[in-house]
Amino acid sequence: MRGGMTAMSFLELSFVEPVGRLWEPAEGAPRGGEERGQRQATSPLPAPPPQPSGNLGSEWGRDSPKVTQIPTQVLRPSLSQGHRGMDGEPPRQRVTGTLVLAVFSAVLGSLQFGYNIGVINAPQKVIEQSYNETWLGRQGPEGPSSIPPGTLTTLWALSVAIFSVGGMISSFLIGVVSQWLGRKRAMLVNNILAVLGGTLMGLANAAASYEMLILGRFLIGAYSGLTSGLVPMYVGEIAPTHLRGALGTLNQLAIVIGILIAQVLGLESMLGTATLWPLLLGITVLPALLQLVLLPLCPESPRYLYISRNLEGPARKSLKRLTGWADVSGALAELKEEKRKLERERPLSLLQLLGSRTHRQPLAIAVVLQLSQQLSGINAVFYYSTSIFETAGVGRPAYATIGAGVVNTVFTLVSVFLVERAGRWTLHLLGLAGMCGCAILMTIALLLLERVPAMSYVSIVAIFGFVAFFEIGPGPIPWFIVAELFSQGPRPAAMAVAGFSNWTCNFIIGMGFQYIAEAMGPYVFLLFAVLLLCFFTFTFLRVPETRGRTFDQISADFRRTPSLLEQEVKPSTELEYLGPDDEND
C-alpha cells in the first residue's frame, strides 16, 4: 500500500507532457508521426498570444476562450483548469487529497485480489499435508495410510482454480451491479464476499474441512471478479485525462503489492507453517474492513451520477470534491456534451453489446488484450513459481519466488511513470516481445539444466525478466484500456465481457498448468512463446493508441470507421467537445 501512495505523491512531478496534446494545432500546422501518426509532434511556436484569464488545461473542462497555440513556458500542464481565488492565488493542482483518497480506497480491493493470487503458492506443502490429515481422519483407523496422489493433486488444483471460477461467474455481474448500485456502493457491498471468504478459509483447518477452504477461495474469487471490473471503471471515470493511464496503472500496482505481501507472509519463518497457514489465508479480511471505513468518505463517479443517473446536483458536488474547484461549470459542460452525444446510446445489456456491429471491433480488441494477459503464462509463474524454481534447480525456491515478487512490484512502478509518456500501444508491444524472448530463454535453460548446472541461474534471470516485461505492458494495460475503448453507455457491459474472458483464461491456466507441464516438460514455456508472438502481431496491427484522448474521441473513431489503421487520427484536443464558449450549466 505504501508503494501505491508513493506513486501518487510524484504523479504531478512526473507527467509534465508537451502541451500539444491539450491544444488544437494552427490551421495547416504539420502533424507528427509519433505513435503511428496519432499524436501531434512538437513544432516551433510563434510568439505567445495574449494570456487568457484563468489557467488552462484540464480533463474536466475549460471556461476560457479557445486558444490555438500556447507555448509550454506559458502553461504548465500540471495545473488544472480552475478559477483563481479572491486573493489571486494560482489554481490548485490536479491531484487533490480527495482524488488520492478515492483512488487509494478503491485499489485496496485490487490489493486483496493480488494477495489471494499469491497466497496459495508458498504454503502449498503444509496445506497439502493438512488435506492429507483431514482425509485420513475421515477414513478411520482401517483406511489407507495416506491420501492417493491423484486425489491430492485434484484437491490442490481445485483449491487453486476455484478462485478463477468465482471470478468468471461474478464478472458477468459487473455491468448490472455497477449500474444498479453505482461504482462506489458496488465496491462497498462487494466486501461482504471478501469477509465471508476470508472467514471460511481462516476456520477451515480448525473445522477439519478442505471444503470450507475451497468454498472460501470461491467466494474470494467472486469478490476479485467484481473488483477487477469495478476498480478500473471507477478510477478511470474520476481520473483526469492526462493522468488516467498512470492512475489506472495503480490498480495493477496494488495487485502486485498484494502478491508480494502474500509471498513474504507465506515464508516458513512468517505464517507459512502447519499451525499459522489458516491465519495467512484469513487476514484477507483486513483490507476489506479498511475499505469499508474509507470508501464512504469518497465521492461517487461524477460521470456515473450525471450521465447514467441524470443527477446534476450530486455530480456537481462530486466534481468539486475531486477537482478542488469552487466553480465546476466547465466540467459540467463537458459532461453535458458527452451526455448529449450519448442520448442515442443508452446503456447496453450484455446481449445488445454482443450483437452491436458498432462495438464489434473495440470488443474484439478488449477480449484479445485480456487473453494476452492471461495466456501469456504469467499466472503459471504466480501460482506455481516455487515448484518451477525447484524444477530449475534453485536451492531456496521460496526466496527466489519473493525475488520475482520484488521485480514484479518494481517494474509496475516503472510502468506507472512510463504509461503517459511512451503510450499504451508501445508498452504493450514491448512487454509482449520481452516475455516471448524470456519464455524461449526459459525453455533453453530447462533443456540444458542437467548438463549445465549454471542454467539454474539462467532460469532465474528468465523468470525475473518474464515478470518484469509483463508489468511493463500486459499486466497493467488490458485492465484500464477496456474502459478507455468504450463510452459511458456500453462500458459496463464491455467490462463484464472482458472480465469474463480474463477469468476464464485464469481458470484454464490455474487448473491445467500442472497437467500441461507434466505432459510437455521443459517445452511448456515454448507454448506460451508462440501465444505471445500471436498477441504481439494482433496488437501491432489492430490496437489503437489511447493516450491523452477522451472517451468520446476514442469511441467516435470506432463509429466512423471499421479500422483505425485506415485513417489519420486527429491529435487529442478536448476543447472541441465542450460546445460554444459561452455555454453554462
Question: pLDDT per residue over 143-168, tens digit each?
Answer: 777 888 888 888 988 898 899 899 98
Residues 383 and 265 in one domain: no
Question: With pLDDT > 70 as the criterion, what percentage of the chain qualifies?
Answer: 75
Confidence at residue 499, expressed as pLDDT on a 0 to 100 scale? 84
Are 532 and 418 found together in one domain? yes
Asked if pLDDT for residue 306 goes beyond 50, the answer is yes
Largest Cα–Cα distance in the chain? 93
According to the model, what pLDDT value does residue 347 have?
Answer: 65
Residues 226 and 293 in one domain: yes
Q: Given 278, 298, 318, which residue is the final one in a domain?
A: 298
pLDDT range class, residue 3, cuts 50, 70, 90 = very low
Lowest mean pLDDT among 32-46, 244-258, 355-369, 486-500: 32-46
Task: Give the model confidence (pLDDT) of 56-90 as tens digits.
Answer: 333 343 344 444 443 433 333 333 344 444 444 43
pLDDT tens for 96-116 read 889 999 999 999 999 999 999
Q: Residue 277: give its domain's CATH number.
A: 1.20.1250.20
Task: Check whether residue 496 and residue 363 sit in a common domain.
Answer: yes
Over 80: is that where the pLDDT of 336 sits? Answer: yes
Q: Is the pLDDT of residue 451 over 50?
A: yes
Evaluate if residue 577 carries a pLDDT over 50.
Answer: no
- pLDDT band of residue 94 (cuts 50, 70, 90) is low
Q: Do 173 and 292 sit in the same domain of this protein? A: yes
**pTM: predicted TM-score of the whole model, two decimal places:** 0.70
Question: Of 238-247, 377-386, 501-510, 526-535, which gets the smallest average pLDDT?
Answer: 377-386
Q: Is the pLDDT of residue 47 over 60?
A: no
Same domain as 523, residue 415:
yes
Per-residue pLDDT tens for 413-447?
888 788 778 888 899 999 999 999 999 998 898 88
**Which pLDDT does position 584 carry in this prediction?**
44
Phi, psi of 79 (to 5 degrees): -105, 140
Is there a domain that residue 584 lies in?
A: no
Inside any domain, residue 72: no
SS3 label, residue 458: helix
pLDDT at 560 over 80: no
Cell of residue 448, nine digits: 540444458
Q: What is the mean pLDDT of residues 527-539?
A: 94
Burial 109-138, CB ≥16 within 10 A → b, else e? bbbbbbbbbbbbbbbbebbbebbbebbeee
- 215 contact partners, CB below 8 Å, separation of at least 6: 200
Q: Which of 86-90, 240-244, 343-347, 541-545 is predicted with the least confidence, judged by mean pLDDT?
A: 86-90
In DSSP terms, 79 is beta-bridged to 93
Choose the final residue of a domain: 298, 318, 336. Answer: 298
Q: Residue 307: its pLDDT value, please?
A: 87
The answer to whether residue 284 is domain-embedded is: yes
Contacts by 148-157, CB closer than 8 A, 24 or more apart: 152/128, 153/514, 155/131, 155/210, 155/214, 156/124, 156/127, 156/128, 156/131, 157/510, 157/511, 157/514
Asked if the model's pLDDT at residue 290 lies above 50, the reply is yes
d(CA 510, CA 326): 50
Least confident of 4-13, 422-431, 489-498: 4-13
164 and 269 share one domain: yes
Please provide the DSSP assignment of 124-192 as one string. HHHHHHHHHHHHHHHH-TTS-SS--HHHHHHHHHHHHHHHHHHHHHHHTTHHHHHHHH-HHHHHHHHHH
Structural domain includes residue 73:
no
On whether both 102 and 223 belong to a single domain, the answer is: yes
Q: What is residue 187's predicted lDDT score, i.e. its pLDDT?
A: 96
Residues 272 and 352 both lie in one domain: no
Question: What pLDDT score was predicted for residue 515?
Answer: 78
Confidence of residue 344 (pLDDT cuts 50, 70, 90): low
Q: What confidence score (pLDDT) does residue 110 get?
A: 94
The reported pLDDT for the residue numbered 101 is 95
Residue 382 pLDDT more than 70?
A: no
Average pLDDT on 513-520 reads: 80
For range 171-193, the mean pLDDT:
92
The pLDDT tens digits of the residues spanning 190-248 come to: 999 999 999 999 999 999 999 999 999 999 999 999 998 899 899 988 988 778 778 88
Average the pLDDT over 166-188 and give the result.
Answer: 91
More reliable by pLDDT, 89 or 262:
262
- Domain extent for 429: 348-559
Assign 551 a pLDDT band (cuts: 50, 70, 90): low
Same domain, 176 and 279: yes
> Which of 268, 298, 328 is the last residue before a domain boundary?
298
274 and 353 part of one domain:
no
Q: Is 227 helix (H, G, I), strand (E, B) or coil?
A: helix
Instruction: Answer yes or no: is 517 within a domain.
Output: yes
40 pLDDT exceeds 60? no
35 in a domain, yes or no?
no
On average, the pLDDT of the chain sits at: 77
Top-confidence residue, 554 or 193: 193
pLDDT (0 to 100) of residue 536 = 96
Task: Among 311-325, 334-348, 392-406, 474-488, name the most confident range.
Answer: 311-325
92: cell is 490548485
189 lies in some domain: yes
CB atoms under 10 Å from CB of 297, counted, come to 10
Count of domains forming the chain: 2
Mark whether 364 and 257 lie in a shared domain. no
Report if residue 410 sits inside a domain: yes
Q: DSSP character for 48?
A: P
Reply yes or no on whether the pLDDT at 49 is more than 80: no
Helices marked H in 324-396: 329-341, 350-355, 360-374, 378-391
pLDDT score of 548: 67
- How far, in Å, CA of 123 to CA of 419, rounded? 35
Question: From CA 557, how far away is CA 332, in angstroms rounded?
Answer: 23
Provide the pLDDT for residue 103: 95
Q: CA-based Rg of the chain, rounded to a whole angstrom?
A: 25
Highest-confidence segment of 1-15, 98-112, 121-135: 98-112
